[in-house]
Structures are given as C-alpha cells and as structure tokens.
Amino acid sequence: MGGPRPPEDFLRCSRADRSAVRRAAWRLEEAARGRRPPLEEYVKAVAARANLPAPVVRRALEILEGNRRAVVGRNPWVLAAASLWLAAYREYGMLMRLAEAAGATIVGVKGAARRMRA
C-alpha cells in the first residue's frame, strides 16, 4: 500500500488551512513515535545548549507549571525556549540564543511567550 501521503495531497482537495494541516500531521507523527518526554526535559536540554544557570531553569519550570493550559498541544522545543526567555527577564540577546538552541524561530518563541504569563 505504501507510505503515508504528504500533507500537500490533502491540501489540494480540502479547504483546510495549511498550518492546521501541518500541525495535525506533526501531532500524528509524534503520536506514532510513542510517548514523548515530559516538557521539563526539553527545558533542561535547551538550557544546557544555551549554558543557562540553574536558577533560570527553576524559574522557567515554575512558569510552565503555572501555564499548563496554555501549553497543551504546542511544540515543546518552542515552549521550552519561551519559558526560559521569560525566566531570563526577556533579554533580546537571550531570545536569539534560546531560539537557536531550540531550533525554532524568534517569532515562534515570542508568540509562545505571549501566550504564557509570567
């Protein structure tokens, strides 16, 4: 039967939004891989890549704990970078460093930080 069809095939015959289809495909792929690690592991990985101290990591984990409803279904790498940026008091140089460490865009990290309230 072959492999799964690409999202572009679905978009040709559907009125669905491109980003919604990509998000659904990403979630399905994550579910197919199995259970992903807790969000705290992503925070620790991004913090290690960006060489951040332990107090910033603890504050980022507190921010995530207080915003559990705002982070459901979002990209864990972006959420980790956004919480670390909020914990580092929104320094712009830190934003670029964290986005690079998480493999995300600056705009994505800013958007996730906007959804979270510190």
Whether 54 and 74 map to the same domain: the answer is yes
Whether 5 and 62 map to the same domain: the answer is no
Q: Write out pLDDT tens, residues 38-49.
A: 888 999 999 999
Residue 81's identity, in one-letter code, is A
Instruction: Show the domain range for 1.
Output: 1-35
Whether 31 and 71 map to the same domain: the answer is no
pLDDT over threshold 90, residue 31: no
Distance between CA atoms of residues 114 and 108, nearest Å: 10
Class of residue 79 by CB neighbours under 10 A (exposed 0-12, middle 13-18, buried 19+): buried
Give pLDDT, residue 44. Answer: 92
For residue 97, the domain's CATH number is 1.10.472.10
Give pLDDT, residue 48. Answer: 92
Whether 58 and 24 map to the same domain: the answer is no
| The two structure tokens encoding residue 54 | 């332990």
Whether 51 and 108 map to the same domain: the answer is yes
Whether 72 and 90 map to the same domain: the answer is yes
| The two structure tokens encoding residue 24 | 């659904």
Confidence of residue 14 (pLDDT cuts 50, 70, 90): confident
Give pLDDT, residue 59. Answer: 93
Whether 45 and 94 map to the same domain: the answer is yes
Confidence of residue 2 (pLDDT cuts 50, 70, 90): low
Q: Write out pLDDT tens, residues 48-97.
A: 999 899 999 999 999 988 887 777 778 889 999 999 989 888 766 788 88
Whether 20 and 43 map to the same domain: the answer is no
Whether 88 and 51 map to the same domain: the answer is yes
Whether 12 and 31 map to the same domain: the answer is yes
Average pLDDT over residues 92-109: 86
pTM: 0.67
Whether 78 and 97 map to the same domain: the answer is yes
pLDDT over threshold 60, residue 7: yes
